[in-house]
Amino acid sequence: MSRRGVSPAEIEDTLSLGWPCSDARHGTDCRVYVFDYNDDWEGKHYAEKEVTLYFKYDDAGLVLVTAKTRYGSSFPRG
């Protein structure tokens, strides 16, 4: 997750505060959340960070499949 710039706290916030997204495959859930960022990422300054999580549930509980991160501004909110 650190390669994509997502912290464990942001994962928790996205799961609890984020809104459902519509592009998850059947059997996979998806949540998205926009964070105020106001920092640099790979040499460019960005105002916001959008985190999208794809996950499933199995017998052991939640299984995080992948995370997508986009940096920019004026992302739509759920």
pLDDT of residue 3 exceeding 90: no
User: Domain-by-domain residue ranges, the chain?
Assistant: 2-72
Confidence of residue 69 (pLDDT cuts 50, 70, 90): very high
Helix (H) or strand (E) holding 17: helix 8-17
The phi and psi torsions of 6 (rounded to 5 degrees) equal -110, 125
DSSP-based three-state secondary structure for 4: helix
Supply the pLDDT for residue 60. 87
Closest to 74 measured CA to CA, from 47, 39, 55: 47
pLDDT tens for 4-57 read 789 999 999 999 999 999 888 898 999 999 999 999 988 999 999 999 999 999
Supply the pLDDT for residue 12. 95
